[in-house]
Amino acid sequence: MPIESFPPPVDAVTTRDELARSLGLESSRSWAGGIVVVTPERKVLVFSDPEEGVKHSYTFDGWAEEEDEYGPVFQYTGAGPLGHQKLSGANSPLMTHRAKGREVHLFVAAGRVPGTSAKYQRYIGQMVLDPIEPYVERWNTDQRGEERMVYVFRLRPAEGAAVAVHEADVVLPAPVTTRLLIPAERTTAAFTTAERHITDRTAVGPQGPRTVYRREGELRTAFADFLTNRGHEVGTYQLTIKGERGTFTTDLYDATAKVLYEAKSASTRKAVREAVAQLLDYRRHIDVPDLRCAVLLPSQPSEDLRDFIAKAGLDLVFRTGDAFTGHLSE
């Protein structure tokens, strides 16, 4: 339907051609893919199509199930149908939109235009890439059936912007339960490498300053190095649960010793309880003979918490200077 100016009203349903004309262009013929740069107007248009995602073996797109104190998060799978995706190339306009002063506007496919191959586009609103965690890394299979890593960008509403948040746009439930082991050496974006690029503290945010501590990531990285230096193969598991929304990854998995670790940034009762619950949940879905599970902590917890971990049938590893006590693979 015609729109008088850009951006259209939130929830308005339009087409790419109508959007192009509202931006002073004749048509959208030159707009390829799901990330489109309109250079003179300094805008990045993002077109999400969950139905197409299912065809390419991913169901990552949509509003994330969990909303935090900084508002909702819309997940958007990056460009690149074959092989590992890259942050350069087609994904670069989204990654660099802040640095280049470009607005990001999000649309979701809303059915096919009768008699054409085009699809209607429903406007969600103006977004920004989350500066703390701009993306997560997920794995799926490409069009050749080969496993590859994809970037799932995390978009939040721009400050002061109205957005349309509807149940229909929430991340699709997983059609089947999947368990995928991702060895660290399979990709330079494996979690041990990714963690090195996360600073210990960040004080920026889409809706104002906030501080995030990354002690947990630093602990995982240090322990991964500790294991790999001893010849162990490490990685992580990616899990989806049938009928549930979202994809999640475990912490470190030592494939050599068959030990799954859950790391926490503190040795408190709250942290230990969370780690125990997560490991008991993961263990139900990871079918590895003789699998052991261990809580990884930055220091030795209290005697009562050590007893709690043991009675839950789990092991404990904690940091002692540059080494780790309770190391299970010696």
| pLDDT tens by residue, 229-281 | 999 999 989 888 888 877 888 989 999 999 999 999 999 999 999 999 999 99
Pairwise CA distance, residues 264 & 127, whole Å:
31
With a threshold of 0.75, does the pTM exceed it? Answer: no
Question: Do 118 and 90 share a structural domain?
Answer: yes
Domain end point (choices 170, 193, 209): 170
Pairwise CA distance, residues 253 & 182, whole Å:
9
CATH at 286: 3.40.1350
Residues 75-121: pLDDT tens digits? 998 887 777 888 888 899 999 999 999 999 999 999 889 988 889 99
CATH at 166: 2.30.280.10
Question: Do 274 and 217 share a structural domain?
Answer: yes
Question: Do 124 and 209 share a structural domain?
Answer: no
Question: Do 232 and 101 share a structural domain?
Answer: no
Residue 95, SS3 per DSSP: helix
Give me the number of domains the chain comprises: 2
Q: What is the pLDDT of residue 302?
A: 97
pLDDT band at 213 (very low <50, low <70, confident <90, very high): very low
Q: Please, what is the average pLDDT of the chain? A: 83
Question: Do 313 and 164 share a structural domain?
Answer: no
pLDDT at position 282 over 60: yes
Question: Do 317 and 242 share a structural domain?
Answer: yes
Question: Do 326 and 218 share a structural domain?
Answer: yes
Question: Do 110 and 257 share a structural domain?
Answer: no
pLDDT band at 211 (very low <50, low <70, confident <90, very high): very low
Q: What is the pLDDT of residue 179?
A: 85
pLDDT at position 327 over 80: no
pLDDT band at 197 (very low <50, low <70, confident <90, very high): very low
Q: Token pair for residue 61?
A: 């797109």
pLDDT at position 174 over 60: yes
Domain end point (choices 113, 148, 170): 170
- The CA-CA-CA angle for residues 77, 78, 84, to 5°, reads 110
Question: Do 247 and 114 share a structural domain?
Answer: no
Question: Do 154 and 29 share a structural domain?
Answer: yes
Report the DSSP pairing between strands 315-320 and 292-297: parallel
Q: What is the pLDDT of residue 185?
A: 56
Domain end point (choices 170, 187, 202): 170
**pLDDT winner (highest mean) among 40-44, 189-193, 225-229, 291-295:** 291-295
pLDDT at position 198 over 50: no
Average pLDDT (196-224) is 61
Q: What is the pLDDT of residue 199?
A: 39
Percent of the chain at pLDDT exceeding 70:
85
Q: Which residue matches tokens 């902590």?
A: 297
Residues 114-136: pLDDT tens digits? 988 889 999 999 999 998 889 88
Average pLDDT (185-189) is 45
Question: Do 24 and 148 share a structural domain?
Answer: yes
Residue 150: phi and psi, rounded to 5, are: -125, 155
Question: Do 204 and 192 share a structural domain?
Answer: yes
**Which residue intervals of the chain are DSSP H helices?**
16-22, 50-55, 92-95, 191-196, 215-228, 269-285, 303-311
Q: Token pair for residue 139?
A: 């794995």
Q: What is the CA radius of gyration of the chain?
A: 22
Its domain, for residue 248, covers: 173-330
